């Protein structure tokens, strides 16, 4: 494709060199540049692509897309724009032939519930005999093919490439998680969204590296509802009601408490599932969801709304939700007549309260909570999470999550500030494996042990290293060790 075709309609500050250059590919990492590529210089949080221009040229770049004044040898075309993050989204969309326009695309945004909601929609669409694409925290899936991905919402070029692969493989519907960073950093710019879903908003991503305030965080999420044709919004959530006021798309609402277009009634909460009646513009049905907790009802209502907008029968929604299973979301990883061990990604006060309350209300024995908080993230939530666990769980073990550059015990002390306010039984064990082992080794009959915070993750991040840590494997190893000891 000629460079002038690739940048047709793109606003740029200035150009130098010929635009009649044949472009063979696009790269934002100089190591991926090949002969005839255009290299897009992105200024990141820790590195600046402009510094890698010599390597890109050495690897064969014919053109550079920059947002700074740079020096380049003769024969290299330079295009300067105000924002290369937006520019790479723009040219990638053109390069791959506007692939998102060929797909029925649903984007899910919010602090919590994105992953579960996307999996629910995928399950519903598959129950309706559709081949589905999925993009999110747990990777990318094209039908039955699973691909790894580094980010919840991939970089713009990678995202457009995936859309193109999906279209080539006859995928008709795609559901993806849309992070606030994905919206803010233009990863989903130039993407054609049919439907957007808003789940909820809490202060999990308020930090120096992410969003400076809830207002900034909310405004990033709001962008999706100025891009999509139809929005499906949680009316029970105060920020959802703000989205309804400010969105520029057609709106369907869902909820339990508020009068909504898609509403749940006659709710029954069980230890391994939820049941409810749903009233929708497309009919009425009794729904059973194989993921427990009130939060699962909200996610299911959003998924039912997305399916309804796409014209999927309510019967397919009921079938898809009944058999749903999401890795790391209220996932039972071990159970016998004595104990049940569950892993869940809960890492905010609200999500921790949801998962603990779910099992507190249905368990015959104690609810034991093992959790920590991530380093380099909002410190204000740490004592709140300690307070939540102390108030609901029968016993709490405070441990490490992903401490990152912080000292693990400093994070634990922050959490302790909340639980110390209560007359709650708790223990601190810095090493997460040892904390899990203690909970299992000292379990009482019918205990439900909830390992909160890691969920699907298979690693721990420390200041100097990232180590493999899969709670499923860890629990199995500990059970084997205890069995070998005759415990």
Q: Which of 95, 127, 148 corresponds to the end of one domain?
A: 95
The sign of the torsion formed by the CA atoms of 63, 67, 69, 70 equals: negative
Give the Å distances, CA to CA, from 121 to 114, 132, 224, 351, 425.
11, 9, 18, 21, 40
Top-confidence range, 122-131, 149-158, 205-214: 122-131
Read off the pLDDT of each residue in 370-399 and give the average, rounded to a whole number: 96
Read off the pLDDT band of 44 (50, 70, 90).
confident
pLDDT at 250 over 60: yes
Per the structure, the count of domains in the chain is 3
Read off the pLDDT of each residue in 404-408 and give the average, rounded to a whole number: 96
Lowest mean pLDDT among 207-211, 307-311, 339-343, 446-450: 207-211
Same domain? 148 vs 233: yes
Tokens 């790479």 sit on residue: 88
Q: Which of 95, 116, 139 corresponds to the end of one domain?
A: 95
pLDDT at 270 over 90: no
Read off the pLDDT band of 213 (50, 70, 90).
confident
Same domain? 351 vs 283: no
Q: Is 151 exposed, middle or buried (0-12, 13-18, 19+ CB in 10 A)?
A: middle
pLDDT at 205 over 60: no
Same domain? 128 vs 18: no
pLDDT at 206 over 60: no
pLDDT at 203 over 70: no
Same domain? 175 vs 317: yes
What pLDDT score was predicted for residue 45? 79
What pLDDT score was predicted for residue 249? 98
* Nearest in space to 153 (alpha carbons), one of 178, 172, 174, 186: 178
pLDDT at 210 over 80: no
Read off the pLDDT of each residue in 290-303 and give the average, rounded to a whole number: 93
Read off the pLDDT band of 76 (50, 70, 90).
very high
Q: What is the extent of the structural domain holding 472?
A: 331-484
Same domain? 245 vs 269: yes
What pLDDT score was predicted for residue 79? 97
Same domain? 303 vs 397: no
Q: How far is Cα 341 from Cα 282, in angstroms, rounded to an integer?
A: 39
CATH number, domain at 439?
3.90.190.20
Q: Which of 63, 95, 127 corresponds to the end of one domain?
A: 95
Lowest mean pLDDT among 293-297, 391-395, 448-452: 293-297
pLDDT at 187 over 70: yes
SS3 track for the chain: CEHHHHCCCCCCCEEECCCCCECCEEECCHHHCCCCEEEECCECCCCEHHHHHHHHHHCCCCEEEECCCCCCCCCCEEEECCCHHHHHHHHHHHHCCCHHHHCEEEEEECCCCHHHHHHHHHHHHHHCCCCEEEEECCEEEECCEEECCCCCCCCHHHHHHHHHHHHHCCCCEEEEECCHHHHHCCCCCCCCCCEEEECCCCHHHECCCCECCHHHHHHHHHHHHHCCCEEEEECCCHHHHHHHHHCCCEEEEEECCCCCCEEEEEEEECCCCEEEEEEECCEEEEEEECCCCHHHHHHHHHHHHHHHHCCCCHHHHHHHHHCCCCCCCCEEEEECCCEEEEEECCCCHHHHHHHHHHHHCCCCCCEEEEECCCCCCCCCHHHHHHHHHHHHCCEEEECCCCCCCCCHHHHHHHHHHHHCCCCCCEEECCCHHHHHHHHHHCCCCCEEEEEECCCCCCEEECCCCEEECCHHHHHHHHHHHHHHCCC
Same domain? 288 vs 266: yes
What pLDDT score was predicted for residue 144? 86
pLDDT in tens, 90-103: 999 999 999 999 99
What pLDDT score was predicted for residue 209? 61
pLDDT in tens, 416-471: 999 999 989 999 999 999 999 999 999 999 999 999 999 999 999 999 999 999 99
Same domain? 384 vs 274: no
Are 372 and 453 within 8 A, CB to CB? yes
8-11: long-range contacts at Cβ-Cβ below 8 A with a sequence spacing of 24 or more? 8/94, 9/90, 10/81, 10/87, 10/90, 10/91, 11/81, 11/82
CATH number, domain at 160?
3.40.1190.10
Read off the pLDDT band of 377 (50, 70, 90).
confident
Same domain? 52 vs 166: no
Same domain? 221 vs 359: no
CATH number, domain at 51?
3.40.1390.10
Lowest mean pLDDT among 30-39, 203-212, 294-303, 382-391: 203-212
Same domain? 160 vs 240: yes
Instruction: Return the higher-pLDDT residue of 364 and 121.
Output: 121
What pLDDT score was predicted for residue 431? 98
What pLDDT score was predicted for residue 218? 93
Same domain? 118 vs 174: yes
Read off the pLDDT of each residue in 31-50 and give the average, rounded to a whole number: 95
């Amino acid at each position: 494709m000629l460079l002038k075709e690739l940048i047709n309609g793109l606003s740029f500050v200035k150009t130098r060199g010929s635009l009649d250059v044949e472009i063979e590919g696009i790269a934002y990492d100089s190591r991926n540049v090949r002969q005839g590529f255009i290299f897009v210089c992105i200024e990141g949080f820790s590195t600046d692509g402009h510094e890698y221009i010599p390597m890109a040229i050495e690897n064969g770049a014919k053109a550079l897309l920059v947002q700074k004044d740079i020096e380049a040898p003769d024969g290299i075309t330079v295009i300067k724009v105000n924002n290369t993050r937006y520019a790479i989204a723009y040219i990638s969309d053109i390069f791959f032939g506007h692939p998102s326009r060929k797909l029925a695309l649903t984007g899910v945004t919010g602090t919590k519930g994105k992953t579960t909601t996307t999996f629910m929609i995928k399950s519903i669409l598959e129950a309706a005999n559709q081949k589905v694409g999925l993009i999110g925290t747990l990777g990318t899936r094209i039908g039955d093919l699973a691909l790894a991905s580094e980010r919840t919402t991939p970089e713009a070029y990678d995202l457009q490439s995936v859309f193109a692969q999906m279209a080539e493989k006859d995928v008709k519907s795609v559901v993806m998680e849309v992070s606030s960073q994905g919206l803010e950093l233009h990863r989903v710019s130039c993407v054609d969204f049919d439907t957007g879903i808003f789940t909820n908003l809490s202060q999990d991503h308020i930090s120096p590296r992410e969003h400076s305030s809830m207002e900034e965080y909310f405004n990033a999420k709001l962008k999706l509802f100025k891009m999509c044709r139809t929005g499906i919004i949680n009316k029970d959530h105060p920020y959802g009601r703000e989205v309804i006021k400010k969105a520029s798309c057609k709106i369907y609402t869902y909820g339990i408490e508020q009068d909504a277009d898609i509403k749940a009634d006659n709710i029954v909460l069980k230890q391994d599932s939820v049941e409810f009646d749903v009233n929708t513009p497309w009919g009425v049905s009794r729904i059973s969801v194989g993921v427990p907790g009130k939060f699962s009802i909200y996610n299911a209502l959003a998924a039912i709304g997305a399916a309804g907008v796409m014209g999927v029968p309510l019967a397919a929604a009921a079938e898809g939700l009944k058999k749903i299973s999401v890795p790391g979301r209220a996932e039972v990883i071990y159970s016998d007549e004595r104990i049940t061990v569950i892993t869940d990604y809960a890492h905010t006060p609200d999500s921790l309260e949801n998962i603990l309350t779910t099992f507190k209300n249905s368990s015959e024995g104690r609810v034991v909570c093992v959790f920590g908080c991530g380093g380099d993230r909002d410190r204000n939530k740490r004592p709140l999470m300690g307070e939540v666990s102390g108030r609901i769980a029968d016993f709490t073990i405070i441990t490490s999550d992903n401490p990152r550059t912080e000292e693990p015990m400093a994070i634990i002390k922050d959490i302790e500030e909340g639980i110390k306010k209560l007359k709650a039984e708790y223990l601190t064990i810095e090493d997460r494996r040892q904390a899990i082992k203690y909970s299992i080794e000292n379990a009482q009959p019918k205990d439900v042990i909830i390992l909160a915070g890691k969920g699907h993750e298979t690693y721990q991040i420390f200041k100097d290293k990232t180590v493999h840590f899969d709670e499923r494997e860890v629990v199995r190893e500990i059970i084997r060790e205890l069995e070998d000891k005759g415990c």
